[in-house]
Structure 1
């Protein structure tokens, strides 16, 4: 039996162990999996895929090979993880609707914009590197980057790739780590290159200057970037923010709406599904059909067919932008691994400055690597020229000496490298012509050496070289901007009333509070049939997509959707089934119209004010307080809507007094008691009122008699607001109703 004392155990607190283990895991995910590096803009798996493909000879000019071959090399040599995850990372780099500048040229089914994950299995697809990928690989074997052992120590892999352009901005990327994430949008190559060149020439350039070159992200699917310039600049200043993308659309000759570009990572099929769902729910009565006409020549072409040419396309699209994925927010978080090996959210200037530092060091290492090669070659050529100048003696030494290498080194003061080069010469290279070639090569390398040393010794020349290479790369691989920068207003979803057909209706209210709706404005409300003991009280004319406001005897207003009212073919429904007034309250009037239309509210105590219909709207069954009623007073039926031509308000009291005042003397309030309109004393009270133009004739009825009060005759009754007015002629002093002679 083994003694337990032979084993050594390490003891530590569970809290300390868990904290250390979690920290190690989180740093691994952050540094080796989820975040891109500012230098080449790649995550480790992407970098390993690109490097493996270059090692397989899969350049843009080569014949493609099975994707499974690449994935096998990647997971077998450098990335010991699942093949499915590795292949998906490869697919993303090949999708032109995901990557602004794809790194992989895929042959076969590599997914579609509608379903990016519908790609075929890797045993069916083929791939090679794209032309743009050469910007990451062309300088790899020139001493430009650091190398590290792979996971089993049998091979070396590059820690970064020598990118000739800031790929971290050009292709962007997303990733979720532990406690942090990254969302870098893609940008236009020409714009980013121009900003880099400007920053090389003007190292103190501020963010506003750089934003003149980089005005915003450039997504592969086009669309419109509708965020205001100041919001985009704020995103670049902080490295965080949200950008708004909107689809591009136009109307064709048939009046149809054609969507030609969608926001980044939005599926056309999903958009059509969302619109069809609204159509099925009868929330889009103005749309009759949807079609997807996308094809190879038109990757995005979605057609929306309106019901008629009278449909406002701008209003319809504003609704769809607000309710579907035709408008989408893109979260921006410029989080990446910096040159110090730490993750950090950087602003635009910091990203460009840090990448230029990386690029400068890469070019310096490349030039130094080449300079070392030139110096080594010159050293060998010097030894060969010595041999040609003393050819006979060199041949004799090689022929007769036991250790010709040592003898050559001692005789001609050569190094071991030079002696080896002489001993490796073939006899055919001993002709005089070969000596001339060596002298020519030496002269050429001397010129190159001086040029390299001058460039490495001058910051200005080094910067000029870097700027020239950036401009050359931009000229070769740059293209026009796809995402247009257009400042748009905020999209607004249509209200339920906007979505309804606009039809003329007449709403009728009875004394007992029953309500109904008749089509058209020709209906005579008083001629309708009513329940026994009930009769007509009030009516309002408007449209079916408008809101109906009801006023009760306590001064509260209520709102109802006009299109939901029962038909006038029957006797209607009691309002108490839809509203919750006070027990003692009765309904006194109804109002319809646009929200800006004005009505007059008041009580028989002689107080009143003008209000807009929108102020009376209420979402509650219990309504809202609109008119404050003095104690013992009664609410008058509301007047309106007041037309632009209405200038006078005429009030008649129980004593037979009439007063006409200008409507402009009434205050416009949202709610309240209002101002004193006519003075009443004792038991006197307002019994009737009306609003009419100054040139209209007022007709008063008393039994079978009537009196026409013409505009000139009303001068006798015009007076200051709050005055008592003047008595009407005898026989018309017991007035219970008043109305204008205008039909």
Structure 2
């Protein structure tokens, strides 16, 4: 960016726009490169790298004694990272928490937080720490010329630019960070799976992303909860470098209770119980009776949910997965600083290829560093051997000459290094056995030099060495996958109806169109209190969680939520407040039932059909067309069909009775239906004869025909004479029973 500056004497003048733009860009680049994003090489942010390096400098290896964390934080701040001590300590705590890091870098002693409250850790003056064994993966090759060293913030000492990691730690432990204009969310992965993918790439450099996804099928979080995202979505995530995945808690049934044994990563068990308890208080979980937290040292996660008996536990857990942290989604953004020093979102193959390229450079520098050390030592040994072969002359020169080094160099054609090595020899090293030792060391070093030179000159041997080191490190630190991959159906929360109890109710409608719901089925609907001039018209038993279907005089159906109807303690509400009836229409039918229940719809013209409650259900107040009525015909009250096979009894106004199996009627969504009982066309046109009653009954039931004060009971052979095919004329009832008031069924 070019900046226009002017000078006025000793003062530099810069426009405010240019100054702020440059200052903000400088700050942005600092946050991106030196604070928020991990480096691809060692997978660490600067503060994490400095903490690990400072601990190694303090001698806090995995075998050392613990030291106060305040000592480590003090060294980090004073030598490498001049920032806040609390932020530095929090970064240190995170690396010690086994529920935050898949492979912790720090072994902590004391209170380092808990999964329920990760920030409940003790102050750094109370805790002690040392490096975890896994830190060796990052530090093992540090002093072997493998990485560049840069001055610290005040230039008084050097620190490593990056740690020489033997494994792609950027994938193993992952990381999160927010920079300026970009962020990173890298989930942890299984060490053995990532190592296998690296070895496969070394053997098959042209391996595709699909090949690598077979070896690294998904993230591996620190907890044992399931990763339920489909494999296709995970592959897409790894191909784009962005996406998300979901984790779901593990649960089992124990004596009719739900026991949760593993939670998604970074989810608090106490928080989950709070979420469930809140739903219980809001009466959104009537099927849950009690909650218990039985977690202890032996069972770090054990949450118990006690449901009511007979409840569907799978449906309950699906609801809890959808409404609580028992299922959680995690963002993925594989954004990191590459080996070119630039931040970039990379796919899985790009990460592994670039890391292997970086690792090859690290190993090459290590081998070259060691080769130079070997050559230097051989050079010195060559000078020492010369001295031993001419020991008397060498001793004479040292005793007699004023400048023995120059004389040794001239006499035996030695270099300064060789001459200094001879002069530094102690008297006890002049023994005869030292010559044997030198020759033995020369032979060993010559073999090592040849091996190093051969490896450095061969790409194949270099790849083999890297693969062997990766395999041995994976064998040492690898473990089994913790987060099983298991595709699951998407969780569905309970609807408002699902959460309702199935309490019995009776829906009652008055002649003037006032509707209400009384608790129970043994309700005297006729004897309820009605407004002056009003009276009972229709009633239907049902359940609180079942829909209520109304049928108007034009054949349209409407749906009411039974649980929203007013109580029968009052006189109800006008039905027109719930539905919009056509002008002049009134409700002539009422039925309650489950959505799968079948219903018989019929008109007094003698036509009818069977349908289901869900086909009559309407989502609007205007309803939907259901029963098509012939001209002048009226709706008969709908009848709920029993689950088992049934007979349909139909009575006409001329006293004719026809009984036939209801299965002979078609099942339709809407329409006119088929003939139930035959009414002659002439009589139907003048409405001289009508179908007045329909009733459903079982094959063994008794049909009672009520005519005034007389009651005719028909069963068995008596009922058989009225049996016929659907649409027949039917047989006449005996005299005195032809003016039928109602039909009843007695279950035998």
Q: Name which of 248, 251, 255 aligns with 1:249.
A: 251
Q: Does 1:574 align with 2:578?
A: no
> 1:222: Cα distance to partner?
1.4
CA distance in 1, matches of 2:51, 2:698: 86
Greater shift in the superposed pair: 234-243 or 104-113:
234-243
Cα distance change on mapping 1:409 and 1:234 into 2, 3 Å = same
Secondary structure of 2:640's match?
Answer: coil
Q: Post-superposition shift, 1:702? A: 4.8
2: CA distance, partners of 1:605 / 1:26: 82
- Distance, in Å, in 1 between the alignment partners of 2:689 and 2:166 is 90
Spell out, residue by residue over 1:407-434, the C-alpha distance to the aligned partner (whole angstroms, 9 max, x if none): 1111111111111111111222111111
Q: Is the 8 A contact 2:264 2:326 kept in 1?
A: yes
CA distance, structure 1, for counterparts of residue 268 and residue 58 of structure 2 = 35
Q: Hey, what does 1:290 align to over in structure 2?
A: 291
1:520 Cα deviation from its structure 2 partner: 4.4
Listed as ranges, the matches of 1:27-426 within 5 Å are 27-253=29-255, 255-308=256-309, 310-426=310-426
Supply the RMSD in Å over aligned alpha carbons.
3.2
Superposed, which structure 2 residues align to 1:656-667 within 5 Å? none
* Residues 424 and 717 (structure 1), Cα distance of their counterparts in 2 relative to 1, 3 Å cut: closer
The residue number in structure 2 matching 1:690 is 694
CA shift, 1:176, in A, is: 1.4
Could you tell me how far 1:204 is from its partner in structure 2? 2.2
> How far apart, CA to CA, are the structure 1 residues paired with 2:49 and 2:633?
83
1:6 aligns with 2:14: no
* Structure 2 CA distance for partners of 1:385 and 1:684, relative to 1, 3 Å: farther
Q: Relative to structure 2, which stretch is displaced further, 547-556 or 63-72?
A: 547-556
Segment of structure 1 superposing worse, 133-142 or 646-655:
646-655
Structure-1 separation of matches of 2:365 and 2:672: 85
* Distance of aligned partners of 1:369 and 1:729 in 2 relative to their CA distance in 1, 3 Å threshold: same
Equivalence map 1:386-535=2 (5 Å): 386-523=386-523, 525-526=525-526, 530-535=530-535
C-alpha distance in 2 between matches for 1:27 and 1:689: 85
Structure 1 pair 596–142 and aligned structure 2 pair: CA distance change class (3 A): same
- Displacement of 1:47 after TM fit? 0.9
Answer yes or no: is the 8 Å Cα contact 2:605–2:691 preserved in 1: no
* Structure 1 residues 177 and 618: CA distance shift in structure 2, 3 A: farther
After the TM superposition, which residues 645-724 of structure 1 pair with which residues of structure 2 at under 5 Å, given as runs?
645=644, 668=667, 670=669, 680-683=684-687, 686-690=690-694, 692=696, 702-704=707-709, 712-714=720-722, 718-719=726-727
Deviation at 1:671, TM superposition (A): 5.3
* TM-fit CA distance, 1:446: 0.8
The 3 A distance-change label for structure 1 pair 534 and 27 is same
Matched residue SS, 1:499: coil
- Report Cα offsets for 1:600-657 as digits up to 9, x if no partner: 345556665543212444565x352243666965651442322354567666666778
Q: Distance in 1 between matches of 2:527 and 2:93?
A: 75
Equivalent pair of 1:645/1:693 in contact (CA under 8 Å): no
Quote how far apart the aligned CAs of 1:673 are.
6.2
Deviation for aligned residue 1:325: 0.7
Write out per-residue CA displacement over residues 121-158 of structure 1, whole angstroms, 9 at most, x where no aligned residue: 22222211111011100101111112222222222221
* Corresponding residue SS for 1:209: helix
Distance 2:579 2:636 in 1: 20
CA offsets 1:29-64 (integer angstroms, 9 cap, x no match): 222111111111111111111111111111111122
Range that drifts further, 647-656 or 259-268? 647-656
Give CA-to-partner distance per residue, 1:515-569, whole Å, 9 cap, x none: 444454444544656555443322222333322233333545444443454555x
Q: Does the CA contact (< 8 Å) of 1:537 and 1:589 recur in 2?
A: no
Deviation readout 1:436-483 (Å, 9 max, x if unpaired):
111111111111111111222222222222222112112211222221
- Aligned in 2, Cα 1:639/1:154: closer, same or farther, shift over 3 Å? same
Within 2, Cα distance between the matches of 1:315 and 1:561? Answer: 22
Q: Is the 8 A contact 1:654 1:686 kept in 2?
A: yes
Contact 1:606–1:685 (Cα < 8 Å) also in 2:
no
Do the aligned partners of 2:37 and 2:179 also contact (CA within 8 Å) in 1?
yes
* 2:226–2:249 contact (8 Å) kept in structure 1: yes
2:52 aligned counterpart, secondary structure = helix
* TM-score, reference length from structure 2: 0.89
CA contact (8 A) 1:40 1:167 kept: yes
Report the Cα distance in structure 1 between the residues aligned to 2:724 and 2:251, rounded to whole angstroms. Answer: 64
Residue range with higher mean Cα deviation, 192-201 or 512-521? 512-521
Matches of 2:654 and 2:719, distance apart in 1? 22
Q: What is the deviation of 1:713?
A: 4.2
Give the superposition deviation at 1:287. 2.3
- 1:95 CA displacement: 0.8
Q: Deviations over 1:70-91 (max 9, x none)?
A: 2222222222222221111111
1:108, 1:126 within 8 Å by CA — same for their partners in 2?
Answer: yes
Provide the rounded CA distance (Å) in 1 between the counterparts of 2:365 and 2:543: 78
Give the direction of change, closer, same or farther, for the CA distance of 1:633–1:651 in structure 2 (3 Å limit): farther
Distance 1:686 1:81 in 2: 94
1:260–1:645: structure 2 CA closer, same or farther, 3 Å change rule? Answer: closer
Aligned pair count? Answer: 732
**Within 1, Cα distance between the matches of 2:504 and 2:351?**
62
* CA displacement at 1:373 relative to structure 2: 0.5
The answer (yes or no) to whether the contact 2:721–2:731 under 8 Å persists in 1 is: no
Q: How far is 1:364 from its partner?
A: 1.4
- From the superposition, tell whether residues 117 and 577 of structure 1 become closer, same or farther in structure 2 (CA, over 3 Å): farther
Alpha-carbon offset, residue 187 of structure 1: 1.3
Kindly indicate whether the alpha-carbon contact (under 8 Å) linking 1:224 and 1:483 is maintained by their aligned counterparts in 2: yes
Structure 1 stretches lacking a partner, 5+ long: none
Taking the aligned partners of 1:154 and 1:504, their CA distance within structure 2 comes to 83
CA distance in 2, matches of 1:294, 1:697: 61
Q: Distance in 1 between matches of 2:574 and 2:322?
A: 34
Residue 660 to residue 729, structure 1, CA distance change in 2 (3 Å)? closer
Helix, strand or coil at the partner of 1:498:
coil
CA contact (8 A) 2:704 2:744 kept: yes
Measured in 2, the distance between the counterparts of 1:694 and 1:53 equals: 85
CA contact (8 A) 2:626 2:669 kept: no
For the structure 1 residues 446 and 5, does the alpha-carbon distance in structure 2 shift closer, same or farther, using more than 3 Å as the test? closer
Distance 1:384 1:733, change over 3 A: same
Per the alignment, residue 4 of structure 2 pairs with none
- 3-state DSSP of counterpart to 1:387: helix
